[in-house]
Amino acid sequence: MQRLHLHLLSDSTGETLEMIAKAALAQFENADVVRHFWPMVRSQQHLDRIMSEIAAHPGLVLFTLVSTEIRARLEQRCATLGLSSVAALDTVTDALEQQLGQEAKGRPGRQHTMDEAYFRRVDAIQFTIAHDDGVGWENWEQADILLAGVSRSSKTPTSIYLANRGFKVANIPIVVESPPPHSLFTLRRPLVVGLTTSTERLIQVRRNRLLSLNQAPETAYVDNDHVTHEVQFARRMFADNGWPVIDVSRRSIEETAAAVINLYNERHNIRAGGSSEPGRDSADWKGPIA
Mean per-residue pLDDT, 8-29:
89
- Is 260 part of any domain? yes
What's the domain range around 190? 116-272
* pLDDT higher than threshold 50 for residue 279: no
- Is 290 part of any domain? no
Q: Is 8 exposed, middle or buried (0-12, 13-18, 19+ CB in 10 A)?
A: buried
- Is 252 part of any domain? yes
pLDDT of residue 110: 55
- Is 289 part of any domain? no
Whether residue 84 is found in the same domain as residue 149: no
Q: Which of 35-39, 100-104, 237-241, 244-248 has the lowest mean pLDDT?
A: 100-104
Whether residue 258 is found in the same domain as residue 184: yes
Provide the annotated binding site for ADP.
149-156
Mean of pLDDT over the chain: 87
Count CA atoms within 13 Å of residue 91 on its CB side.
Answer: 2
Provide the annotated binding site.
149-156
**Number of domains within the chain:** 2
* pLDDT higher than threshold 90 for residue 85: yes
Whether residue 123 is found in the same domain as residue 259: yes
Which residues make Cβ contacts (< 8 Å) with residue 201, sequence separation at least 6? Answer: 249
Whether residue 87 is found in the same domain as residue 143: no
pLDDT of residue 282: 35
- Is 277 part of any domain? no
* pLDDT higher than threshold 90 for residue 122: no
* pLDDT higher than threshold 80 for residue 104: no
- Is 100 part of any domain? yes
Domain CATH code at residue 187 = 3.40.50
Whether residue 29 is found in the same domain as residue 159: no
Whether residue 227 is found in the same domain as residue 256: yes
Q: Which of 55-64, 149-158, 254-263, 281-290 has the lowest mean pLDDT?
A: 281-290
Whether residue 99 is found in the same domain as residue 185: no
pLDDT digits (tens, 9 = 90+) for 175-194: 999 999 999 999 999 999 99
Whether residue 91 is found in the same domain as residue 157: no
Q: Which of 23-37, 92-106, 132-146 has the lowest mean pLDDT?
A: 92-106
Binning pLDDT at 50, 70 and 90, where does residue 135 land?
Answer: very high
Domain CATH code at residue 39 = 3.40.50.2300
| Among 229, 273, 266, residue whose Cα is nearest residue 244 | 266
| Among 35, 34, 36, residue whose Cα is nearest residue 51 | 36
Whether residue 125 is found in the same domain as residue 233: yes
Whether residue 58 is found in the same domain as residue 135: no
